[in-house]
Structure 1
Amino acid sequence: MPDAPSSVPYRRDRSRLREERRRRRRRGMWMGIAAAVIAVLVIGGAITAMVVANQGSGPAAAPSEAAEPEPIVFPDDEPAAEPGAEPCTTVSVLSSFENAEMVERLAEGYNAEPRDVDGSCVTVVAAKDKSGIAAEEAAVGFTETPEDERPVVWIPDARSWLGVAREGGGGANVPAEGTSIGSSDIVLAMPEPLAAAIGWDEEPPTWTDVFETADDAAVWTDLDHPEWGEFKLGKTSPVIASSGEAAMLASYGAAAGSLADLTAAEITDDEISDEVKQHELATSHYMATPEHFLWHARQSADAGGSAADFLSAVIVDEKSVWDYNRGITSRDGVTRIETDPPAEQLVPIYPSDGYYVADNPAVVLTGSWVDDAEAAAAEDFLRFAGTKEGQAIVREAGYRDLNGELDAEVEEVGALAESTDAGLPFPEQQVVVAMHEAFPEVRKRANVLFLLDVSGSMGDPIETGESKLEAAKQAVELSLDHFSAGDNVGLAAFSEVDAQALAPGEVSAVADIADTRDRFESALGGLKPIEWTPLYEAVDTFAKQQAEDYDRDRINAIVLLSDGRNETEAPSTSSQQMLDTLEELHHSTPVLVFTLAYGADADVDTLRAISGATGAHYYDATDPTEVDEVLGELVTSF
């Protein structure tokens, strides 16, 4: 790795870097905490409410403006001498993907001791889902879930989702406020050499600096690092993940002049919206979870290059930075893989004009499926989360406790700030909802081709009684609802018959979906299973075609759905030729090829290699009955 320019020297001494970063921010653990509320009510030795104390009023707060609150003294847990009578009351707790590990550990800690709530023993069971999906389900009372399996407690990783669920109709089921169990700042994370080269490890930027830099195609060349390409800013989708919400709200706040005072009216302001649209052009693409981005960054580094091949910066929570730096990544947000720590670590950047805090609010749901016994047991579980033992679990899981303190090892490995004074609570419900509603209009537009395998095996039936092709066509048609005017969307299909390669080929040209949806759907409906599977030829051909129409201001992509392995009647493009094409395009006119393995016979390894070569993501629909759900998640990348 070449050294950075001498004007911003590359800092190789990580401990010295961390100490200088801490000194800049350490104004006292409580100096910036003006907006926090701590309500502690002791009844029979039980804490019934605690609200996070790590949400500050912004960088402008001065020591003289607010008295330092006293740190919380966490009470000891008081388990029962003997467990209550069986059958135990079961408390189902639903978390986000991001905070699932913490919630699972809290459940284990609680279950490890005897519990007696109103004469009954208690068992806490943890489940997880994406934040946006959970909010949608909470809004309708989890009606798609059998009543005896619905959650009693919901712990999204940020309070914003409570408002989204209530706005969607869940007011009868979701309390307006939650009890924070711990927090994680949502920061800008960068590979260490890039952070040093641009100087943000020394002097944190404002969000305006971040978005303006990301929009500068020549920034790394100007800093004598052309090998890093353009500035690639990664964001999750704000309709799915809290980090995506924080990124969009920061964009609006930067455009409006203040993150802390952002209003719903400013989100609908035309001038502010135009600036946010410009910010979004710097986004490489959107993903469903922070883990998706970090997994790809690690893959890029391990392939002999640098994480810079995939991203320059990504907006994630501190806990994700800690996970990455200790060698833990996840392709899908569910399965975690632990390897050696990366040689190229991530540096968390805390923008100087503030950053939002994921406060992990717990609510006991009030739906008709929650009985009195479950509600009482749930309150006891939340009491445990606020005890000395519970808060130790929170810290060990990579989060700040209710005093804003980190575990020493987490702080060291993650290179996290010891204390932060610019953390901001998420805005009020109406502001978050306004952002969600505005996102389809301001997001970066897509230039995407759906590429469907129509080999003979696509005519095979699945459990629903449909053929694989019919189910796939329905899923594609449903996914079109994600796109809006200004998105260029097209359709091609591939098979081979009588040595005719790539039959039928392009059936609906890539064009504005607002004008061509009828044509697209008609062409989609006419697709039929044919014969062979020229997978390599199809990817090679259509990637080149998409690259010819490359537009830096769009997400240029292919969505590839295939159920089999490359099989051709006549000699055709080889696997290596296809991968060489993708690699060449990746460094000039990058086309993201998102791959979806469809059915049990799909060539998973090849599809992963294709997506990995382009910096896109692989999706698993090897259970073909799930294709509509999987494809629905995939298109949130646009």
Structure 2
Amino acid sequence: MKRTLTIFSWCLLCLCVLAACNEQTSNQQPAKPASSPQAAPGVNCSGQKTQNPVTLNMAYSSEKQTWMDAAVADFNSKSFTACDGPITIKATPMGSGQSMQQILDGTIQPDIWSPAGNVWITLINSKWREKHSDNLIATGANDTPSLVSSPVVIAMWKPQAEALGWPNKPIGWSDISKLSTNPQGWRAYGHPEFGDFKFGHTHPGYSNSGLDAVIAMNYAAVNKTRALTSNDVTNAGTKEFVTNVESSVIHYGDSTGFFADKMFNNGPGYLSAAVLYENLVIEANSGQKYKNLPYPVVAIYPKEGTFYSDHPFTVLQTPNVTAAKKAAALAFRNFLLDPAQQQKALQDGFRPANSQVKIAAPLDSAHGVDISQPKTLLQVPNANLINQIEDNWQTQRRLVDVSLVLDRSGSMNDPINNVRKIDGAKDGLKEFVSLVGDQDQLGLTLFSDNSDEISPISTLGPKRQDLLNRISGIEANGSTKLYDTIGDQVKKLQNMPSKHIKAIVVLTDGADTSSQLKQDQLIEQIKAKGENAGNSVKVFTIAYGDDANASILTDIATASGGKEYAGNPQNIKEVYNQISQFF
């Protein structure tokens, strides 16, 4: 099918040709003082120029935040110009799936978008065409260049990788599937001290590494590297294979960096392995961010094949992206691809996109990676097949037992910006209930002077509407029995025989006033510890309003392996939505 070359594509193509012609001359220009506007390298403009300043809004994947923060600050300090006045970049790190959805629904309107991988361009164009006549992002050869790249890998503690035969034996998804379902866990490989195999990857609906991982599992199940079909992803063998891998997942999430933090801060008892990026393995072994790694970490490049996270740079084709913004975007793109910025990306563990920058340390075996890998790359499926893989995953993922715990003390009647806290909290609870799957188990407990189980932890599907009705009827009064309620719910989940992910989501607007348990006693009780710490009950806490003790709630969440959030009636639905991404 022929593609219509838009005016934007022609302009960008012409600019790229001019950039190539003028690059050498531009690079030889002496640097001007930061206070004086200077022409950006690689951009020529014909016709009348203006002095109007240009501000570009950029959404980019959070995995490259360290590099991007420094690059943006450097670019902004130089007062570059293109066809108009000085250019300012305002860049916001976001999960690739989250930013895609917010672009589609109009919540954000960036001029530039740099997701973690090209798979998201396939998806966003497909979804955009459902409502518009053309792609949101041009897909010509020069329209989506890679800024940097990093292979998607399985990060594993070196002693555990060696137990699987690394580095002499190729390791892949088939090994993860077998290990995930072996009832002996690491004992079957001669290492009972490692406990169970504990695995992690992000939610494929929100994060690039999670989506790439699930696509790769589908490929591995049918022993293919390209031309995956609908029949491949729907056959019983594929479904069983993916379900087996997912059975060892301790939880999901929207951030690859969050998994890295959990794994490297908590050790092999929390996570045996996780789907990360090569640059995060390098970061772990560098000794700067994570000071007390119990063992080195190595990057496993799955033998069945993997993807590159290639961080494309795209300019959106929307009416608010003017000709001046397009020229400014090209100037910023050229700056990021300049050898000086690419060298900085290399030091952050990325493989540079500019061939003038040679790969060197820290991309080496001393930092747990192998630049001769990956040997096999997988083909990105079409959008319909990606959507089918995601839909199937909803039935293949590990299920969850979750206890929703809500503070209904009298202070919840107080308003924030003219909305009663209890009313906002009820809206948030309903949002969460709407997002949990029919086969997941969910319960609801309210607390003030005492705790009351409104709905026991049981299969959600048959009781969903009844639970929503019960939430609507919640009223607030009494004091705050926080610690005892959390402690009781943790014990209840610990005693449940299911092999599901187990979690508590607790919202409170104040400090504990009536528990028998003390804070340190609660933290000791819920603390994730031992060789199977990753399978502990995770406690996700919401500090609701300014009167909540955020510090204590952070300590509770961190001790259990969960995460803390700040909430108010205006953002509480989004907070519950974010927590749901862990399941």
Normalization by structure 2: what TM-score?
0.86
What's 2:203 paired with?
237
What's 2:60 paired with?
95
Mean Cα deviation higher: 101-110 or 155-164? 101-110
Match for residue 493 of structure 1 among 428, 441, 446: 446
What's 1:566 paired with?
512
Match for residue 46 of structure 1 among 6, 16, 20: 20
**Where do 1:585-596 residues align within 5 Å?**
590-596=536-542
Contact 1:95 1:127 in 2 (8 A): yes
Contact 2:176 2:245 in 1 (8 A): no
Judging changes above 3 Å, is the alpha-carbon distance between structure 1 residues 467 and 414 closer, same or farther for their aligned structure 2 residues?
A: farther
Match for residue 578 of structure 1 among 522, 526, 548: 522
Deviation track 1:174-217 (CA, whole Å, cap 9, x = no partner) reads 33462111100010101223223333344231211122212223
Deviation track 1:227-261 (CA, whole Å, cap 9, x = no partner) reads 33210001111111111011111221121222434
Contact 2:54 2:84 in 1 (8 A): no
Deviation track 1:331-374 (CA, whole Å, cap 9, x = no partner) reads xxxxxxx4636343321111222111101111111101111111
- Verify: 1:453 aligned to 2:416, yes or no: no
Deviation track 1:126-180 (CA, whole Å, cap 9, x = no partner) reads 222211111112224xx224xxxx3211110111111221222265433346211
What's 2:95 paired with?
130
Letter aligned with residue 436 of structure 1: E
What SS does structure 1 have at the residue aligned with 2:453? strand
Judging changes above 3 Å, is the alpha-carbon distance between structure 1 residues 341 and 613 closer, same or farther for their aligned structure 2 residues?
A: closer
Judging changes above 3 Å, is the alpha-carbon distance between structure 1 residues 75 and 255 closer, same or farther for their aligned structure 2 residues?
A: farther
What's 1:5 paired with?
none
What SS does structure 2 have at the residue aligned with 1:491? strand
What's 1:411 paired with?
364
What SS does structure 1 have at the residue aligned with 2:443? strand
What SS does structure 2 have at the residue aligned with 1:452? strand
* Whole-angstrom CA distance in 2 between matches of 1:243 and 1:208: 18
What's 1:163 paired with?
122
What's 1:8 paired with?
none
What's 1:173 paired with?
136
Match for residue 600 of structure 1 among 539, 543, 546: 546
What SS does structure 1 have at the residue aligned with 2:252? strand
What SS does structure 2 have at the residue aligned with 1:355? coil
* Whole-angstrom CA distance in 2 between matches of 1:152 and 1:47: 26
What's 2:383 paired with?
429
* Whole-angstrom CA distance in 2 between matches of 1:425 and 1:77: 37
What's 1:27 paired with?
none
**Where do 1:4-153 residues align within 5 Å?**
43-46=17-20, 77=27, 83=38, 86-113=51-78, 115-140=80-105, 143-145=106-108, 150-153=109-112
Q: How many angstroms does 1:115 deviate by?
A: 3.3
Judging changes above 3 Å, is the alpha-carbon distance between structure 1 residues 76 and 474 closer, same or farther for their aligned structure 2 residues?
A: same
Match for residue 565 of structure 2 among 616, 620, 628: 620
Match for residue 176 of structure 2 among 191, 210, 220: 210
Contact 1:357 1:425 in 2 (8 A): no
Contact 2:225 2:377 in 1 (8 A): no
What's 1:386 paired with?
337
What's 2:3 paired with?
none
- Verify: 1:630 aligned to 2:583, yes or no: no
Letter aligned with residue 278 of structure 1: N
Q: How many angstroms does 1:541 deviate by?
A: 1.0
* Whole-angstrom CA distance in 2 between matches of 1:154 and 1:451: 38
Contact 2:405 2:447 in 1 (8 A): yes
What's 2:212 paired with?
246
Match for residue 476 of structure 2 among 524, 529, 532: 529
- Verify: 1:511 aligned to 2:458, yes or no: yes
Deviation track 1:430-473 (CA, whole Å, cap 9, x = no partner) reads 3323223333222221111111111222221112x221111111
Mean Cα deviation higher: 466-475 or 208-217? 208-217
Q: Which runs of 4+ in 1 moved over 6 A?
A: 39-42, 73-76, 78-81
Q: How many angstroms does 1:592 deviate by?
A: 2.1
What's 2:152 paired with?
186
Letter aligned with residue 330 of structure 2: E
What's 2:392 paired with?
438
Contact 1:243 1:315 in 2 (8 A): yes
Q: Which runs of 5+ in 2 are unaligned?
A: 1-12, 40-49
Q: How many angstroms does 1:220 deviate by?
A: 1.7
Deviation track 1:515-534 (CA, whole Å, cap 9, x = no partner) reads 00122112212222121211
Mean Cα deviation higher: 191-200 or 475-484? 191-200
- Verify: 1:484 aligned to 2:457, yes or no: no
Aligned residues: CA RMSD? 2.9
* Whole-angstrom CA distance in 2 between matches of 1:47 and 1:428: 36
Q: How many angstroms does 1:562 deviate by?
A: 1.8
What's 1:4 paired with?
none
Contact 2:180 2:244 in 1 (8 A): no
What's 2:271 paired with?
311
* Whole-angstrom CA distance in 2 between matches of 1:256 and 1:41: 44
Q: How many angstroms does 1:45 deviate by?
A: 4.3
Judging changes above 3 Å, is the alpha-carbon distance between structure 1 residues 47 and 453 closer, same or farther for their aligned structure 2 residues?
A: farther
What SS does structure 1 have at the residue aligned with 2:504? strand
Q: How many angstroms does 1:74 deviate by?
A: 10
Mean Cα deviation higher: 399-408 or 360-369? 399-408
Letter aligned with residue 88 of structure 2: T
What SS does structure 2 have at the residue aligned with 1:90? strand
**Where do 1:548-559 residues align within 5 Å?**
548-552=495-499, 554-559=500-505
What's 1:275 paired with?
241
* Whole-angstrom CA distance in 2 between matches of 1:560 and 1:40: 56
- How many percent of aligned residue pairs carry the same amino acid? 25
Judging changes above 3 Å, is the alpha-carbon distance between structure 1 residues 470 and 492 closer, same or farther for their aligned structure 2 residues?
A: same
Contact 2:84 2:324 in 1 (8 A): no
Judging changes above 3 Å, is the alpha-carbon distance between structure 1 residues 107 and 77 closer, same or farther for their aligned structure 2 residues?
A: farther
Contact 2:421 2:568 in 1 (8 A): no
Judging changes above 3 Å, is the alpha-carbon distance between structure 1 residues 259 and 489 closer, same or farther for their aligned structure 2 residues?
A: farther
Deviation track 1:49-80 (CA, whole Å, cap 9, x = no partner) reads xxxxxxxxxxxxxxxxxxxxxxxx99984669
Letter aligned with residue 139 of structure 1: L
Contact 1:91 1:378 in 2 (8 A): yes
Judging changes above 3 Å, is the alpha-carbon distance between structure 1 residues 119 and 442 closer, same or farther for their aligned structure 2 residues?
A: same
Judging changes above 3 Å, is the alpha-carbon distance between structure 1 residues 576 and 106 closer, same or farther for their aligned structure 2 residues?
A: closer
Contact 2:173 2:302 in 1 (8 A): yes
Q: Which runs of 5+ in 1 are unaligned?
A: 1-38, 49-72, 301-306, 329-337
Contact 1:252 1:259 in 2 (8 A): no
What's 1:610 paired with?
556
Contact 1:76 1:388 in 2 (8 A): no
* Whole-angstrom CA distance in 1 between matches of 2:145 and 2:564: 35
Q: How many residues align?
A: 544
Letter aligned with residue 538 of structure 2: L
Match for residue 375 of structure 1 among 326, 348, 354: 326
Q: How many angstroms does 1:425 deviate by?
A: 5.2
Letter aligned with residue 169 of structure 1: W
Contact 1:474 1:628 in 2 (8 A): yes
Contact 2:227 2:379 in 1 (8 A): no
* Whole-angstrom CA distance in 2 between matches of 1:169 and 1:606: 44
Q: How many angstroms does 1:418 deviate by?
A: 2.4
* Whole-angstrom CA distance in 2 between matches of 1:585 and 1:528: 37
What's 2:8 paired with?
none
**Where do 1:287-306 residues align within 5 Å?**
287-300=253-266
Deviation track 1:484-524 (CA, whole Å, cap 9, x = no partner) reads 2211111111111xxxx32xx11112222110012211221
What SS does structure 1 have at the residue aligned with 2:307? strand
Q: How many angstroms does 1:124 deviate by?
A: 2.7
